Chain A
Amino acid sequence: MAQSSQAAEGLDSIPALLQRNASQYANRPAYREKEFGIWQCWTWAEAEKEIEALALGLLNLGVDEGDFVAIIGRNRPHFYWSMVAAQSVGAIPVPLYQDAAAEEMAYVMDHCGARFAIVEDQEQVDKVIDIQDELHQFEHMIYVDQRGLRKYDHHKLHTFAGVQDQGRAAYWEFIEDLKERRAKLNYDSICVMLYTSGTTGKPKGVVLSNRNIIEASRSSAEFDNLTKDEEVLAYLPMAWVGDFIFSIGQAYWCGFCVNCPESADTMQIDLREIGPTYYFAPPRVFETQLTNVMIRMEDAGRLKKWLFDVFMAHARKVGPAILDGKQVSGWDRFKYALGNLVIYGPLKDTLGFGRVRVGYTAGEAIGPEIFDFYRSLGINLKQLYGQTEASVFITLQPDGEVRSDTVGVAAPGVEIKIADNGEVYYRGPGTFEYYYKNEESTKKTKDAEGWVATGDAGFFEEGSGHLRIIDRAKDVGQMADGKMFAPKYVENKLKFFPNILEAVVFGNGREACTAFINIDLNAVGNWAERNNIGYASYQELAGHPKVLEMIQGHVEEVNRSLADDPMLSHCQVHRFLVLHKELDADDGEMTRTRKVRRGVIAEKFEDLLGALYDGSSEIYTTTEVTYEDGRKGAISATLQIRDAAVVPVGNDKKVAAE
């Protein structure tokens, strides 16, 4: 088996892969980061030296085997080095979401008992100092960016470069120890611990072994023929399993280069400059980009707009077929090539997708229009289905079998079964070891034979054998008349409209479905500008009668499309309101990965939910909001509640009064 052959080669840990890359790909780029306007580059040999210096420095500070090292910062080479350096000395890296509030960090750092933290800048240092009284085991903090920290008490605070310097100085003292610890690492040792955000309850620490990470990276890299020549842009949160697999697992396995953007705001510019060949983004990113393109095309000259419309129509017709290698007539191919010259090529270049060979999206359902838009341009965008507990990969779409409504076939080595209640189970080499200090949850999620419950309901499509996910299993409920209620499915349909940013559909145990809607400030703002609608704030725009009318149009369109689906026609939205604030992770309404927390929202906006069902046409409400720095405030508004027309289905002839 491949597994044992690797163990024989000694490539059974990330530090071991680093050693291989440093000799095999010594002069090839391993990391790039844009700083001071210039892309700085580290080769594999240089990266290995940096990591070694840091690892020696960590030994010097007294990091023990089995210690947890919290890593808090945005995607920068330093933090990737930190993770591998921690592994090299036998410690376990725990990357955290850098935008998490102090209490959230306190919980996680206390739960794993981190003795060390490697953080980015003053903001993170301050946060950790704020919570350190609650952390009994916590000892040392290392920071990268010195700004503003000069005058802090440096007893327990160290600069990243300083730790490396000390490591280099103490080379002969610690190198034997380092080598020894590195040699001890094997397939069973823990590679990383990642906290899942969880739509309910406290975060859980998912323990992933070297076997999980390396096997998942190896098989997925083979699945898509990834090579040492790939370029990726690392911009997704480091605490998220996807980034760990792409920027460490696959990057170390294949030996390709990880590029880090200059700052979160420059991501689009950096994307264009790097032109990644392998790219991953949640649907939201693709949505935003498409919305931006459309907004800009609205403002374009007439000729340009005409060209765009004509060629995009053609691309939608034949683009996906050409990408899938299906039969397309010579004339259509010629027209497509022409379009590539004048529209698709330049557009792809502007978006930064000029060189993308394999692109993935996952995490949420992607709108068919959005998905087709990118594929028709010739970008090989595919879907995968995964979760932290699986080291990402559960299913993948093979080239040539890509569709917007399925998530593909089982990933290499992964087995999938569907339980009687429709819940999807899987097991495979990437399946996590256990939840840290949480035996109960481990037992609940992973059974003795290694089958893991995904919490999602789905089914295999007949014919193609592709998996289709309907909804979170626990969200699927029953309406008052016993029919299936699948909120996510309806929400996704609503969110496919660029004007709708978020939607939360209610209806479990009720007679009819209703919805909270968040408008997309970008798209609706632009629309308002073009239609001479003045507004001073998000709240005002969200409450504007014309906006409500437009949203109503979208809701009714969704109702019409739901009516065609025999399984879910009763889930049509009867009444809705547009929320006066954006749902936000800081207020606990969403997870850090931006999934709505249904329960929290229903509780927090109880009054609004009541109004949706008691027939009133407007309601006054006050809501507490949390600012970025943790302070609290309140906003109040009078919200209109609207009835949407529903399409009568079968015996249910009820039509909402309008």
Chain B
Amino acid sequence: MKDMDADGYTTADGRRIGSVVMEMKNITLRFGGVVAIKDISFDIREGEIRAIIGPNGAGKSSMLNVISGFYNPQEGEVWYKGQKRPPMKPYQVARQGIARTFQNIALFDGMSVLDNIMTGRIRQMNAGLLAQAIWKGKAEAEETENREAVEKIIDFLEIQHIRKTPVGRLPYGLKKRVELARALAAEPSILLLDEPMAGMNVEEKEDMSRFILDVNDEFGTTIALIEHDMGVVMDLSDRVVVMDYGKKIGDGTPDEVRSNQAVIDAYLGVAHD
């Protein structure tokens, strides 16, 4: 493991990683008799890009769903910003500043890109229903303010040309980017990305990687991501958790993980003789 203390560490490219912001302690998640996650512990530090990898069915998405509050584990504790988190609904977790994207894009197809991203600002809109309906006072000021924030994200992710296009008409790679935009619009302190590069071609992957790094660099957002593409993971992330059959089999920097025998076995397979 690299030099690390309670205050964090400095990465090879000179980024300063802070203290632990989220910690999973001995998480176990069961669906009936099936154990999806078994006694897993790891932490996520402020400003870091943390990847969770593993073969199909390893329990990666379940883990992400535990973090986002979609599943509540039967055993174990989730600590967030120094406090133990009680069982929560996903919207409550979202209010705490954790935003996510989905493996199988969950956008509103009939709405424009702009409107989709605006929905990410829901936490920042407090005007009452009536005020919003008659479009006066606070509601108007709020919309202007939020639109400005959204426009900055549109500019950041270079999707100006599709601002007014209905999402349903967009190709896959762009939809993924819009989804990222919506998650960013919530100004999260932790961003969860569920397979952000699944189904993309090489060029789209490169673009997406660039954006993920830029988000981390520009806004200081902590990012936890699940990804299949090993190359991408190793290039992007600061630290990697490796899962297999619901268990943690490795944790460390990409180099450490790459040379870990258990990881190599899980990925390449071992002879069962």
Interface residues of A (CB under 8 A from B): 35-38, 147-148, 150-151, 262-263, 265-266, 269, 629
Contact = CB atoms under 8 A, between A and B. Distances in A.
Contacts of A263: 158, 160-161
Contacts of B160: 37, 262-263, 265-266
A36 B163 CA distance: 11
A148 B219 CA distance: 11
Contacts of B214: 147-148
Interface residues of B, number: 19
B268 to A, nearest CB: 26
Given A35-B155, A151-B14, A266 B161 contact: yes
Interface in B212-243: 213-214, 217-218
A147 B151 contact: no
B15 A147 contact: no
Contact of B217 (A150, A266, A269): A150
Contacts of A36: 148, 151-152, 154-155
6 contacts: A37-B154, A151-B13, A151-B14, A151-B15, A266-B160, A629-B206
A150 B214 CA distance: 11
B108 interface: no
A37 B148 CA distance: 9
Contacts of B154: 36-37
A34 B271 CA distance: 61
Contacts of A148: 213-214, 217-218
Most buried by A among B13, B15, B155: B155
A263 B15 CA distance: 30
Contacts of A37: 147, 151, 154, 160, 163
Given A37-B160, A150-B217, A262-B160, 14 more contacts: A36-B148, A36-B151, A37-B147, A37-B151, A37-B154, A37-B163, A147-B218, A151-B15, A262-B161, A263-B158, A263-B161, A266-B160, A269-B161, A629-B206
Nearest to A38: B151
Contact of A151 (B147, B163, B217): B217
Nearest to A264: B161
Residue of A35, A37, A38, A150 with most chain B CB atoms under a 10 A cut-off: A37
A265 B162 CA distance: 9
Contacts of A150: 217-218
A526 B60 CA distance: 41
Contacts of B147: 37
Interface string B237-257: 000000000000000000000
Contacts of A147: 156, 214, 218
A558 B115 CA distance: 50
A629 B210 CA distance: 13
Contacts of B217: 148, 150-151
A224 B175 CA distance: 46
Main secondary structure of the interface of B (DSSP, over half): helix
Nearest to A35: B155
Interface in B145-191: 147-148, 151-152, 154-156, 158, 160-161, 163
Contacts of A262: 160-161
Contacts of B148: 36
Nearest to A149: B217
Nearest to A263: B160
B200 to A, nearest CB: 16
Nearest to B161: A265
Contacts of B151: 36-38
A35 B148 CA distance: 11
Q: Which 6 A-B pairs have the closest CB atoms?
A: A265-B161, A36-B151, A266-B161, A262-B160, A37-B151, A266-B160
Contacts of A151: 13-15, 217
Nearest to B164: A269
Nearest to A266: B161
B28 to A, nearest CB: 40
A266 B160 CA distance: 7
A32 to B, nearest CB: 15
Contacts of B206: 629
Nearest to B155: A36
Contacts of B155: 35-36
Contacts of B213: 148
Contacts of A38: 151
A269 B156 CA distance: 19
Nearest to A151: B14
A269 B15 CA distance: 39
Contacts of B15: 151
A184 B163 CA distance: 48
A37 B112 CA distance: 14
A150 B217 CA distance: 8
B19 to A, nearest CB: 21
A265 B160 CA distance: 8
A348 B158 CA distance: 28
Nearest to B15: A151
A297 to B, nearest CB: 19
A35 B160 CA distance: 9
A151 B217 CA distance: 9
A55 to B, nearest CB: 28
B220 to A, nearest CB: 11
A36 B147 CA distance: 9
A629 B206 CA distance: 10
Contacts of A266: 160-161
Contacts of B152: 36
A592 to B, nearest CB: 21
A171 B148 CA distance: 33
A23 B213 CA distance: 47
B131 to A, nearest CB: 24
A150 B216 CA distance: 12
A263 B160 CA distance: 7
A7 B218 CA distance: 51
Nearest to A146: B218
Instruction: Point out which of B15, B148, B158, B160 has the most chain A C-beta atoms below 10 A from its C-beta.
Output: B160
A264 to B, nearest CB: 9
B242 to A, nearest CB: 29
B219 to A, nearest CB: 11
Nearest to A267: B161
A265 B13 CA distance: 32
B10 to A, nearest CB: 12
Contacts of A35: 155
A38 B218 CA distance: 23
B178 to A, nearest CB: 15
Contacts of B156: 147
A430 B13 CA distance: 51
A35 B154 CA distance: 10
Contacts of A269: 161
A262 B154 CA distance: 11
Interface in B119-159: 147-148, 151-152, 154-156, 158
Contacts of B163: 37
A602 B158 CA distance: 38
Nearest to B213: A148
B196 to A, nearest CB: 18
Contacts of A265: 160-161
Nearest to B149: A36
A270 to B, nearest CB: 10
Among B147, B154, B161, max chain A CB count under 10 A is at: B161
A269 B164 CA distance: 10
Contacts of B13: 151
A266 B158 CA distance: 10
A36 B151 CA distance: 5
A280 to B, nearest CB: 22
A266 B13 CA distance: 35
A607 B158 CA distance: 42
A147 to B, nearest CB: 6
Nearest to B214: A148
Interface in B43-73: none
A122 to B, nearest CB: 9
A452 B128 CA distance: 73
A151 B11 CA distance: 13
B8 to A, nearest CB: 17
